[in-house]
Amino acid sequence: MTAEIVMPETPLPEHRETIFRLLDLFNDERSGFPDPVRPLALLLREPGSEAVLGGLWGVSYWQWLFVDLLFVPEALRGQGMGSELLGRAETIARERSCIGVWLLSFSFQAPAFYRQCGYAEFGHIADYPPGHGCTYLMKRLAW
């Protein structure tokens, strides 16, 4: 087999999807634990509108939920929306038989919020982005 490395001028979603499918198949074969990737979306919308104001996006795989995105607009912060989104995601993770939830948060985002919600740091990258930090957090789910 031979191959060449090419860099498309405009990477497309289908490029990522193809690489993901190949890696997913490899992972399932090697881990001995095939588990379907299941996306999760919880949306914040203004009542009576279809416009998305924020929300949570994640994916469960290998019995863990990864929270990829969580955003609450400033006007709605301090009202428990972030906690409710995270709590609902944890409930869904339990329903999917997940062991826990993990995520990352930059120092200018909300690592303290996640700690208040019971998440513990398991990794940190200093100066990512420069002058800030990236914290990896996780929470094992109680049954």
In CATH, the number for domain 26-140 is: 3.40.630.30
Q: What is the mean pLDDT of the chain?
A: 95
Q: Hey, what's the torsion of the CAs at 21, 17, 65, 70, to 10 degrees?
A: 170
Q: Which of 103, 93, 99 is nearest to 33 (CA)?
A: 99
* Residue extents of the structural domains in the chain: 26-140
pLDDT in tens, 59-96: 999 999 999 999 999 999 999 999 999 999 999 999 99
What is the pTM (predicted TM-score) of this model? 0.89
